[in-house]
Chains A and B, each alone.
Chain A
């Protein structure tokens, strides 16, 4: 029987700022993860409430918008989805660092580039948007 390829693990990225969310998600995809993007804790809750969605970890902005704050989302996740690891990040730098840590244990076992590049990329996008 042919050996099945290992499924990329899945990370839910929660951030209300599309530029940050895009950069972090892109970075994690480069490491081989499947990434689900949520713009609020409400969207994240919809994903996490569905047991059929195989989320392994959540990377959530500490100030993500939504009906419940990021800390409440973390508490809810710990109670209802004990199989899911959840990390909060309070800044772009912290999110990029956490994403890099995920990458070191991720499907490709390597960082695609330095997390500072993600931060620089977001700053460039923000500069372009202004």
Chain B
């Protein structure tokens, strides 16, 4: 939870609004309320029955165009996932910010528009 807190605070200090979820069930509950979420950052290993890879698959079913980035110390190369990006832990603040900005920035929005149109 300290990692969740520090990561969230890093992003808040950069002006992002961050909603925290303890596990995949909470993340899905928040998304299902209709909260406007621009990106989901998820650990691969989390408490609960659903891991980050399965959470990504569920999110892509509900919100196919919502970008998801997985964060983990290790993601075996043979693990297939639908996430839009992967960030290895430990990461630097600059790397996290670059990743988030790339997935909510104009380039992504343009890609998202063409995906929605197709």
Contacts and interface: CB of A to CB of B under 8 A. Distances in A.
B28 to A, nearest CB: 9
Interface string A101-130: 000000000000000000000000110110
B1 A129 contact: no
A34 B23 CA distance: 21
A46 B22 CA distance: 14
Q: Which DSSP category, helix, strand, loop or mixed, fits chain B's interface?
A: loop
Contact of B1 (A22, A25, A34, A38): A38
A19 interface: yes
Interface in B32-71: 32-35
A47 interface: yes
Interface in A75-116: none
Contacts of B29: 18-19, 129
A22 B19 contact: yes
Interface residues of A, number: 17
B59 to A, nearest CB: 15
Nearest to B32: A129
B5 A39 contact: no
B5 to A, nearest CB: 6
A43 B33 CA distance: 25
B35 A43 contact: no
B19 A43 contact: no
B32 A39 contact: no
Contacts of B88: none
Interface of B: 1, 5, 9, 12, 19-23, 26, 29-30, 32-35
Interface of A: 18-19, 22, 25, 29, 34, 36-39, 43, 46-47, 125-126, 128-129
